[in-house]
Homo-oligomer: A and B are copies of this chain.
Amino acid sequence: MSRDPRTGAATAGPPATAPAELSALLAAAARDAHEIAATAPAVRAAWLTAVADALVEHTDELTALAEAETALGTDRLRGEVGRAAAQSRFYGSVAVEGGWLGVRIDGPATTGSVELRRINRPLGPVAVFGAGNFPFAFGVAGHDTASALAAGCPVLVKAHPAHPLLSARLGVLVSAALRGAGAPAGAFALVTGFDTGLALVDAPEVAAVAFTGSQSGGTALVERAASRPVPVPVFAEMGTVNPAVLTPAAAADRAGLTAAADGFTGSFTLGQGQFCTKPGLLLAPAGSGAAEAVAAALKGVRPGWLLTEGIAEAYRRGVADLLAAGAERVATVAPSEEGFAAAPTVLSAPARALRPGSRLLAECFGPVALVVEYDGTAGLREALDTLQPSLAASVISCGPADPDLPWLVERLAGRTGRVVVDGWPTGVATSWAQQHGGPWPATSRPDATSVGAGALDRFTRPVAYQNVPRAALPEALRDGNPWHVVRRLDGVPVAAAPAGTGAGA
């Protein structure tokens, strides 16, 4: 069922995928997995470019569909379509560069005996559970889908219940684009229905699961996949409370405090606070007046709607639970009277309330944040130690000379996937050096990233070929470097020769 968050009005959605149809789709993915894995990365990059082109071509239609089901705003959604297209192209370029293949060739002089050639091989069919809050960037054609295809794995996406009609349309567009670009039929499929999703995780054909969503949803999939006869990895990006720290030096400057409060408020209410990178907690020096400054900034925020009725209910309950756990309401914005409305809210709590096990330490999805004042460096250290590890953390400083920066950055780096200085955690660039992950329970696999070049690494497994004759080697491991990828020869990184020169070991 498709629902409009602004009104709650319901429209019929696509039916759940029938078990027989799911079996056929899984069989097709398994059947074509080998062909997809053996396809040159440049060819798979062309498939991803076709997907990107299809997204761009249908921007207006997709934006309208998404807006009707998410109420996230057409400007934001239009931009996100472009972002998803750019991601697809980026992962294609990463596939072509080939560093993710990890090609290493050691001769007998290096090993002492044999010749070894090592490469990362695609795992096989990947089940993708996209996010509700980013219908494009983390949706049917989002990071997980594009990076898995780039790594040579077929993809089966479970449609998100928050935007069934958009998902169905995206599924048709992606399938058509891939087929049009020459990809085999098993390269991609969209499936629908809760039970279908569980069957996907259980399916013997599935080699890995990628998930973006809640801690409860991610943990359930992790446990389910671990209890399969043959366990498979689940890369669940779940999200926690991302802290932002205002240093004493930064808070001492009145203009700086106001700017920080404006930035914090803009970040935690962006997309109605429905970001896994939302800064849910501001730690500010005692007596800084940070809570009041954030309350003032909140006055400029327009209320909106949450994605689903369930999220809206969970939000109201979550805010009530935070109040019951010792928080006080500092300011709130009256919500809309219709639909899945949410009231943007700032709470405060004393530092002593941040005790292990407290509800104050857990995420509340939606436009709410907590301001906590710390008492000196010792108080700040103590507060930081009680927090759950997170996807990201911010420090707002008075500039590079801020004396608290070095220890704070190091402390936060030990408990997060990304440390931001003088900026906010929302907004995750898709590039080579990105890390979108974090220690448990921010993710189920702290060594993995779901954004950036490293995203491909999740879907591969290394294999060493010992004294294997040329004709039996995978193409990328052959002398002459036919795929023109960066490699390590006897431990020494060697840049790829440009395509067409025929050079190489």
Q: Is the CB of A462 within 8 A of B449?
A: yes
A216 on interface, CB distance cutoff 8 Å: no
Count of interface residues, chain A, beta-carbon cutoff 8 Å = 74
List of B residues within 8 angstroms of A15 by Cβ: none
For window 427-447 of chain A, which residues contact chain B by CB distance below 8 Å?
427, 429, 431-435, 437, 439-440, 446-447
A352 within 8 A of B: no
The segment out of A17-25, A372-380, A486-494 that lies at the interface is A486-494
Q: Is the CB of A423 within 8 A of B462?
A: no
Question: Which residue of B is nearest A118, CB measured?
Answer: B433
Q: How far is the CA of A452 from the CA of B114 in the complex (A)?
A: 14
Chain B nearest Cβ from A314, distance in angstroms = 24
Whether B493 lies near A419 (C-beta < 8 A) is no
Nearest CB of chain B from residue A439's CB, rounded to whole Å: 7
Query: Given A97-B491, A400-B471, A493-B99 in contact, is the A464-B419 Cβ separation under 8 Å?
Result: yes
A347 at the interface (CB under 8 A from B): no
Asked if B461 and A116 sit within 8 Å, CB to CB, the answer is no
Given A413-B465, A467-B420, A472-B410, CB of A433 within 8 Å of CB of B116: yes
Q: Does A405 touch B at the CB level, under 8 Å?
A: yes
| Minimum distance in angstroms from A81 CB to a CB of chain B | 16
A193 proximity list for chain B (CB < 8 A): none
The stretch that binds B, out of A45-53, A102-110, A317-325, is: A102-110
| Contact (A493, B493) CB under 8 Å given A118-B433, A435-B118 | yes
Question: Which residues of chain A in 376-430 are interfacial with respect to chain B, using CB atoms and an 8 Å cutoff?
Answer: 399-400, 405-406, 408-410, 413-414, 416-423, 427, 429
List chain B residues, Cβ under 8 A from A399.
469
Bound Cα distance A491, B465 (Å): 28
Residue of B nearest to A415 (CB): B463
**A468-500 at interface with B (beta carbon < 8 Å):** 468-474, 486, 488, 490-491, 493, 495
Is the CB of A336 closer than 8 A to any CB of chain B? no
Are A116 and B471 in contact, with the CB atoms below 8 A? no
Q: A491-B453, A493-B99 are in contact. Are A431 and B469 (CB under 8 A)?
A: no
Which residue of chain B has its CB nearest to the CB of A406? B472
Q: Among the listed B414, B420, B462, which residue makes an inter-chain contact with A417, where contact means beta carbons less than 8 Å apart?
A: B462
Which residue of B has the minimal Cβ distance to A108? B429
8 example contacts (A-B, Cβ-Cβ < 8 A) are as follows A118-B435, A121-B413, A409-B472, A410-B474, A418-B464, A421-B465, A423-B466, A453-B491
Given contacts A110-B432, A118-B435, A421-B466, 19 further A-B contacts (CB under 8 A): A34-B414, A99-B488, A111-B434, A113-B427, A114-B420, A116-B429, A118-B452, A405-B471, A418-B464, A419-B463, A419-B464, A421-B468, A423-B467, A435-B464, A437-B462, A446-B461, A447-B460, A449-B462, A493-B495
